[in-house]
């Protein structure tokens, strides 16, 4: 009985009269009586939640990050690296749209720069995308210059929080602690005090 009630609630059926009617005519509910609890839970609760999860991702990103919910489930359970990348993308885009101090126009520009660098296989977090726009607008470095730095190996770490850094040609690309998302990029002056340089990457 509990299985039937939960299933009906998940389908938006709440009144006892409608539940009773569904029990008579809905073949899915009749089928519930032949399932074990685990079979029922996997089929109706897990699948329902995964479908909503997939639909939420598509809603946030504005495009189908994977073809369908079945492909999404395959990635979720069999490709942790790709699944984590999707989650990072969702979190970044959501943070951009939820940032109250950004105008709608600037939000779209931040999103554009994020996907522009994604096309080169680099991931910016929201702060990185915002700061890249400002640095590029100020001509602190060109896109080709920063791409050249990003293409190199890590060679330093930030002293304060151990963030990995790529520092070449006086351009410093600071990554998040996960070593994947780029948090900031700065052109340092040639006279930058060596005592303030982050420690060598190990």
Instruction: Give pLDDT, residue 158.
Output: 83
Tell me the CA distances in angstroms from 101 to 95, 107, 122, 129, 188, one per residue in order.
11, 10, 25, 15, 28
* Contact in structure between 162 and 177 (CB atoms under 8 Å): yes
What would the pLDDT profile of 93-119 be if each residue is shown by its tens digit? Answer: 999 999 999 999 999 999 999 999 999
- Quote the tokens at residue 120: 């080169």
Instruction: Give pLDDT, residue 64.
Output: 87
Alpha-carbon span 10 to 33, nearest angstrom: 17
Higher pLDDT, 129 or 64: 129
Task: For residue 46, name the pLDDT band (cuts at 50, 70, 90).
Answer: confident
Q: What is the DSSP string of the chain?
A: -HHHHHHHHHTT--SHHHHHHHHHH-HHHHHHTTS-HHHHIIIIIIHHHHHHHHHHHHHHHSS-SSSSHHHHHHHHHH-HHHHHHHHHHHHHHHHHHH-TTS-HHHHHHHHHHHHHHHTTT-EE-HHHHHHHHHHHHTTSS-HHHHHHHHTS---EE-TTT--EEEEETTEEEEEPTTSSEEEEEEEPPTT--GGGSPEEP-
Residue count (the chain): 202
Give the percent of the chain with pLDDT over 90.
56
Lowest mean pLDDT among 27-41, 53-67, 83-97, 104-118: 27-41
What would the pLDDT profile of 167-192 be if each residue is shown by its tens digit? Answer: 999 999 999 999 999 999 999 876 45
Average pLDDT of the residues of the chain: 84
Instruction: Give pLDDT, residue 188.
Output: 83
Q: Nearest Cα to 165, choosing from 192, 136, 191?
A: 192
pLDDT greater than 60 at residue 38: yes
Read off the pTM.
0.74
Instruction: Give pLDDT, residue 195.
Output: 45
What would the pLDDT profile of 116-129 be if each residue is shown by its tens digit? Answer: 999 999 999 999 99
pLDDT greater than 90 at residue 7: no
Alpha-carbon span 151 to 36, nearest angstrom: 53
pLDDT greater than 60 at residue 69: yes
* Contact in structure between 146 and 173 (CB atoms under 8 Å): yes
Sheet holding 171-175, edge to edge: 123-124, 181-187, 171-175, 164-168, 156-157, 199-200
């Amino acid at each position: 009985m509990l299985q039937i009630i939960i299933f009906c609630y998940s389908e938006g059926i709440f009144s006892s009269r409608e539940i009773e009617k569904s029990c008579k005519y809905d073949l899915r509910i009749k089928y519930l009586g032949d399932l074990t609890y685990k079979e029922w839970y996997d089929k109706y609760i897990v699948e329902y939640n995964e479908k909503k999860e997939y639909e939420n991702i598509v809603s946030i990103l504005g495009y189908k990050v994977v073809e369908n919910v079945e492909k999404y489930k395959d990635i979720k359970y069999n490709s942790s690296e790709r699944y984590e990348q999707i989650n990072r993308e969702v979190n970044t885009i959501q943070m951009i749209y939820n940032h109250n101090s950004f105008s709608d126009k600037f939000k779209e520009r931040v999103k554009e720069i994020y996907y522009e660098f994604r096309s080169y296989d680099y991931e910016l977090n929201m702060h990185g995308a915002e700061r890249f726009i400002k640095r590029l607008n100020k001509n602190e470095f060109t896109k080709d210059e920063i791409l050249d730095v990003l293409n190199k190996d890590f060679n330093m770490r930030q002293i304060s929080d151990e963030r990995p850094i790529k520092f070449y040609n006086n351009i410093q690309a600071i990554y998040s602690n996960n070593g994947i998302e780029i948090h900031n990029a700065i052109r340092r002056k040639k006279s930058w005090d060596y005592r303030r340089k982050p420690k060598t990457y190990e």
